[in-house]
Chains A and B, each alone.
Chain A
Amino acid sequence: MDSSSTAAATAAASAPLLRNLSVTGTTFNIQQFSTEDGPGIRTTVFLKGCPLRCAWCHNPEGMRVAPDLMWYDVRCIAARECLSICPEQALALSQSGMQIDRARCTLCGKCVRACPSAAFELIGKQWTAEELLDELLKDQVFYETSGGGVTFSGGEPLTQIDFLSEVLPLCKAAGLQVALDTCGAVASDRLRRVLPWIDLVLYDLKVMDAAASKAATGVSNELILDNARLLAEHGTPLWIRTPLVPGYTANADNIRAIADFIRNCLPSVQRWDLLAYTNLGRPKYHRLDRPYALEDAALLTRGDMEALWRVAVELVPQAQWSGATC
């Protein structure tokens, strides 16, 4: 169902005239009963757009703010409605699947509406702050009984700073506990702007060596480290998260360097999660016709994880690891 345009139109028709209607948020997922993104039972809002291009990213549909068209081969029943309705003739179906000419595709969404089996999905749902708040409040009772709340994640949620500045105060006013899950590679004033409404920051520290960071994520890490210090000075509770990716972050030197940084510079860190690399994102690259750098990468072993965890926990007792291993 693509109700976003009609919903937005309805909201526009009924909203008070004074409200700035131009600010809407774009999400690629709203995950209820999220148990891995902060304390208690949470709803995680995944906002689109990210300044990083991590090679291992398992949410490639979160990289850009604009919508992404995805095609699911398992759902396709070859009804072919999409082929005839596409005004740009950007679609072709063959034995090897759907070819989307992404240069021609204007993301009009006609194929999404036409497909009976929902094999197409236009990722990028628009929300006003009020609409999103209503969605988040659906699970309020679960937040209350579990010490949970909402987590704004991404992508990089601060990419949509204007929308966040609208929705976060609403969340706080509604009594929701708010966590921000950020990569830190954003202008510091954006962080400062949202801090008054944030109870907890989940902060990614991936690669400590600047050059290696640039190679792995597309950006150097000075700003990331500066922003981490800024949050620590502010006293914001921090949960550091480090994906352990073979060939990129999963080496003892990197973990030791992150551990040193946490111990020396970030006194407000409550825990440090070492997250085993997951290959669950691989099919998404295929659906987006994008290359995936870790196409053939294996999962880490339990032994790998435990060895790296021992390096971490020696300096940072709050370190723990989780995730799937092979």
Chain B
Amino acid sequence: MAVSESRGGLSPGDLWAAASTLSPRIQHLRDQYWSFYDRTYTNEVRAFTTGTAWDTVYSMWSWTNVPETALFLPGFRSYLLAAATRVELPHHFWREPLVVRRALFFREVLRQYLPVEILEGELIVGSHLNTALSRCLNKREARERDHAERDFLAEWHQLNDSGVGNCAAVPGHLVPDYRKALRVGWSGLYYEARDIAEAPDATAAQRDLARAVMICADGVRDYMRRNAAEARRLSGQGNDPTRIAELQEIARIAGKVPWNPPETFPEALQALWTTHMLLMAAESYPGPGVSPGRVDQYLLPYYEADIAAGRLTRDTAKEWLECWWIKHNYVYDYQGWTGTNQGINASFGQLITLGGIKADGSDASNELTHLMLDVIDEINLLEPKPNIRLHAKTPEPLLDRIVDSLARAQGSPFLLNFDEASMAGLRWQGLPEEQLWDYAPVGCLENTLAGCDRSGTVDVNLNLAKAIELALNDGRDPATGKQIGPQTGLASDFESFDDLWHAFRAQLLHLADWIIRVNDMADAGRGRWEPVPYMSAVVDGCLQSGRDSNAGGARFNFLTVEGIALATAADSLAAVKRLVFEEHQIEMPQLLDALRANFDGHEPLRQTLLHKAPKYGNDDAAVDALARDISRCWTEAVFQHTSPTGKRYRGGYLSWNYWIAYAPTTAATPDGRKRGQYLSNAVCPVNGADRKGPTAVIKSVGHLHLASAPNGASHTMSFSPSLLRNPEQRAKLKGLLRAYDKVGGTCLQINVIDAATLRAAQKHPDEYRNLLVRVTGYNAYFAGLGKEIQDEIIARESHGL
């Protein structure tokens, strides 16, 4: 059966391959990227050590927010160290303070060890960014650090293994001040640091950090000199005059930027890439969520100048842009041997932000926004991941363009961020009103200010549904019998819904306190033993304060607690409220028995819970109000906490893949869910619980009043392609987006795929290897996902027809 005007006649390859309009150069570069098994260059992880017996090149506490890898962390740590190259250290190395040691070490790696390779046909250079760098600790520091990490991991296991959640000192995850790095060049950053280092009233901490930044800047300059030399060497060997000219231009640019400020669009792209890739390298392995931010804003002057001067045409500028674009994808080489079809752990969200507003509130989209949308349509690659900021004044042609892209993509080529709701959250969080317009999301969708805000995201991930389980079991985990929460009374003694609510609230706040206390251990350790002078050079506030970016030196410092399973928790409370306390259809002891038995032998009761209670996602005040109360309860509570490095905790809803990870460790819930069935994802309804279509879901999300979760909230909706089959129908989706801006959440991802296509892709992964979908805030190739998540995506209600 075919739906009229669908694209049933096209083969999968036609649908998801790059467009045929790519230039031969870009097509070649794209193919080169995809040829991991054949190419000689790979960007696999390169580890570098000081050579001491106690060295560490991999921090386990950085990755404990990926619980499925927990078992492997000690292995990663020891294998990487065993494989590490020993770096010759300057003689004064061990006499320097730690932050300077880190800078010296990085500079040595950039000067002598990080390979320099220019790929055939490329115009933007700088290839090796996946590293594992020594933490540069002396023996005493290493002992203290490892001790702290062990203590942290022991506590972490208690949280994770009981299904409460996880936490980590997550690297990366910020929008650095690339705008400034382009404006003043690394020489400008160097001189600014020198002025601080030489100021008579500078503190020791200011002087140390400033010296460390100067050393990093040296390293950047020297690394690009090596690239320039390599380009000259290759140009001397070549016999293709076009390529020789290109290599000479590459050598010229590499000799100039990013040490000197760029003056043309190609120079700006090279300066941006170098600054970015070295930040990824400095963060190690590489740093995830390092997000370039509003590139269509800060690259525009360079683009316009080149077009005006006739140095570039739109097409030649696009080719430079696409050369830059492809480079970001090489981060995935780190897992090349386990499959280049990157799966759900593909978390290197190098987010770029398009559109949005200017300081005066007017629309900020421009020619470069549209050029980048052309690139997104054509190139079909995972990185960089685009988010588009929509707002009340988004021009109609841009919205048309976006909806057309969605219609063509068979997947979700970008996320949509909604300015009004996003800015309301940042305002709630206390960021200065005059800077809110310039926010940009990080990683997947996490809203932060650009260049001055170390907002840390996905640091802490809290399973809200666990508090339901504890409230019904007097604080005991029914799986283990352990008392992990306060004793809030036997549920069979609850006389009213208020009793249950108070118990739930007490459990939830206890879990939030607990998980934050554990995260504080990782944050304190990272702040003390893992300074990041390179990052600190491009985060406003660090040099001035003399505090490293990891130690709370940025102008604004936050850590984010992401809520998991909001709808599962809300539906559970609503079911007990309606069926036990209001309609008396179910007795509490009967419910508790059924939950304890995981509903075995209680199927009629489970069906009653599923069918006779209100469910979040249907614009039903009876349950949406409870969801809002839960959300306000924990987000307001975590905002009262500040970490040892002075970072304030704030809430959000990303829930990554945790709604699957914690399904087995969350007992049966009164919404009718059995242990092991997935929890709800971010602010989405429980799968299948939304019965009234997309408008009702959007209204329910709007009812949450998400300002108190300023990090932002992931909301995924899937639509059948028939909704976008012609301009008349596409206009309806535009209407839906305009309304979302008024009533909905902060961030929406739209997948336009029919279930039949997905099932075919599951069966024939090779034919569909380019099928790109969005999963809770990040892109993934469908064929590379685990079967559970594939099933989940297929099961998602397809709205529309």
Check if A111 is an interface residue, CB within 8 A of chain B. no
Contact flags (1/0) for B738-755 with A, using CB distance below 8 Å? 110011000000000000
Contact flags (1/0) for B664-697 with A, using CB distance below 8 Å? 0000000000000000000000000000111110
A35-B800 contact, Cβ under 8 Å, with A116-B605, A142-B695, A325-B1: yes
**A142 to B731 Cα, complex, angstroms:** 12
Contact A321 B604 (CB under 8 A): no
In the complex, what residues of A have CB within 8 A of residue B729's CB? Answer: 35
Contact B743 A77 (CB under 8 A): no
**Of A32, A322, A323, which is within 8 A of B693 by CB?**
A32
**A142 to B2 Cα, complex, angstroms:** 29
A77-B604 contact, Cβ under 8 Å, with A33-B693, A35-B732, A305-B4: yes
Check if A307 is an interface residue, CB within 8 A of chain B. no
CB within 8 Å of B: which of A272-306? 276, 299, 302, 305
Contact A146 B619 (CB under 8 A): no
**A142 to B735 Cα, complex, angstroms:** 7
Which one of B167-175, B189-197, B607-615 is at the interface? B607-615
A118-B611 contact, Cβ under 8 Å, with A35-B800, A41-B695, A41-B736: yes
Check if B723 is an interface residue, CB within 8 A of chain A. yes
**A322 to B801 Cα, complex, angstroms:** 12
CB within 8 Å of A: which of B1-37? 1-5
**A116 to B606 Cα, complex, angstroms:** 8
Contact A146 B735 (CB under 8 A): yes
**Of A31, A35, A139, A326, which is within 8 A of B723 by CB?**
A35
Contact flags (1/0) for A24-64 with B, using CB distance below 8 Å? 00000001110110001100000000000000000000000
Contact flags (1/0) for A138-154 with B, using CB distance below 8 Å? 11011011111000000
Check if B135 is an interface residue, CB within 8 A of chain A. no
In the complex, what residues of B have CB within 8 A of residue A79's CB? Answer: 603-604, 607
Contact A324 B3 (CB under 8 A): yes
In the complex, what residues of A have CB within 8 A of residue B723's CB? Answer: 35
Contact A41 B735 (CB under 8 A): yes
Contact flags (1/0) for A63-79 with B, using CB distance below 8 Å? 00000000000000101
In the complex, what residues of A have CB within 8 A of residue B606's CB? Answer: 116
Check if B510 is an interface residue, CB within 8 A of chain A. no
Give the size range of A's interface with the partner.
Answer: 20 to 34
In the complex, what residues of A have CB within 8 A of residue B692's CB? Answer: 32
Least CB distance from B513 to A in Å reads 38
A116-B612 contact, Cβ under 8 Å, with A35-B729, A325-B2: yes
Contact B4 A116 (CB under 8 A): no
Contact A81 B604 (CB under 8 A): yes
**Of B603, B732, B735, B742, which is within 8 A of A77 by CB?**
B603
The binding surface of chain B is classed by DSSP as helix
**A275 to B699 Cα, complex, angstroms:** 31
**A33 to B696 Cα, complex, angstroms:** 9
Check if A84 is an interface residue, CB within 8 A of chain B. no
In the complex, what residues of B have CB within 8 A of residue A305's CB? Answer: 4
Check if B232 is an interface residue, CB within 8 A of chain A. no
**A326 to B732 Cα, complex, angstroms:** 26
A325-B4 contact, Cβ under 8 Å, with A40-B735, A79-B604, A142-B739: yes
**A31 to B693 Cα, complex, angstroms:** 8
CB within 8 Å of A: which of B757-801? 799-801
Check if A4 is an interface residue, CB within 8 A of chain B. no
In the complex, what residues of B have CB within 8 A of residue A276's CB? Answer: 4
Among A142, A323, A325, max chain B CB count under 10 A is at: A142
**A299 to B2 Cα, complex, angstroms:** 11
In the complex, what residues of B have CB within 8 A of residue A36's CB? Answer: 801
Check if A89 is an interface residue, CB within 8 A of chain B. no
**A117 to B5 Cα, complex, angstroms:** 38
Check if A17 is an interface residue, CB within 8 A of chain B. no
Check if A1 is an interface residue, CB within 8 A of chain B. yes
In the complex, what residues of B have CB within 8 A of residue A142's CB? Answer: 695, 735-736, 739
**Of B4, B696, B738, which is within 8 A of A146 by CB?**
B738
Least CB distance from A324 to B in Å reads 6
Check if B632 is an interface residue, CB within 8 A of chain A. no
**A138 to B703 Cα, complex, angstroms:** 12
Check if B225 is an interface residue, CB within 8 A of chain A. no
Contact B799 A33 (CB under 8 A): yes
Check if B734 is an interface residue, CB within 8 A of chain A. yes
Contact flags (1/0) for A143-170 with B, using CB distance below 8 Å? 0111110000000000000000000000
Least CB distance from B94 to A in Å reads 64
**A32 to B723 Cα, complex, angstroms:** 14
Least CB distance from A73 to B in Å reads 15
Contact A145 B693 (CB under 8 A): no
Contact A118 B612 (CB under 8 A): yes
Contact A1 B4 (CB under 8 A): no
In the complex, what residues of A have CB within 8 A of residue B5's CB? Answer: 322
Contact B735 A116 (CB under 8 A): no
**A253 to B431 Cα, complex, angstroms:** 70
CB within 8 Å of B: which of A311-326? 321-326
Contact B1 A147 (CB under 8 A): no
Least CB distance from B559 to A in Å reads 35
**A35 to B693 Cα, complex, angstroms:** 11
CB within 8 Å of B: which of A109-155? 116-118, 138-139, 141-142, 144-148
Contact B4 A147 (CB under 8 A): no
Looking across the interface, which residue of chain A has its beta carbon closest to that of B609? A116
In the complex, what residues of B have CB within 8 A of residue A32's CB? Answer: 692-693, 695-696
Contact A148 B735 (CB under 8 A): yes
Contact flags (1/0) for A251-262 with B, using CB distance below 8 Å? 000000000000
Least CB distance from A134 to B in Å reads 11
**Of A118, A145, A146, A326, which is within 8 A of B1 by CB?**
A326
Least CB distance from A300 to B in Å reads 11
Contact A324 B739 (CB under 8 A): no
**A276 to B4 Cα, complex, angstroms:** 10
Contact B694 A33 (CB under 8 A): yes
In the complex, what residues of A have CB within 8 A of residue B731's CB? Answer: 40, 146-147
14 residue pairs A–B, Cβ–Cβ below 8 Å: A33-B696, A41-B735, A117-B604, A118-B607, A138-B619, A141-B742, A145-B736, A146-B731, A146-B735, A147-B735, A148-B735, A276-B4, A322-B5, A325-B1
19 more A-B residue pairs beyond the given contacts A40-B735, A117-B608, A138-B619, with a C-beta to C-beta distance below 8 A: A1-B612, A32-B695, A32-B696, A33-B693, A35-B732, A35-B800, A77-B607, A79-B604, A116-B604, A116-B608, A118-B612, A139-B695, A141-B742, A145-B738, A146-B735, A146-B738, A276-B4, A302-B4, A326-B2
7 closest pairs, A vs B, by CB? A146-B735, A117-B607, A145-B738, A33-B693, A118-B611, A116-B607, A116-B604
Interface residues in chain B, defined as those with a beta carbon under 8 Å from any beta carbon in chain A: 1-5, 603-608, 610-612, 619, 692-696, 699, 723, 729, 731-732, 734-736, 738-739, 742-743, 799-801
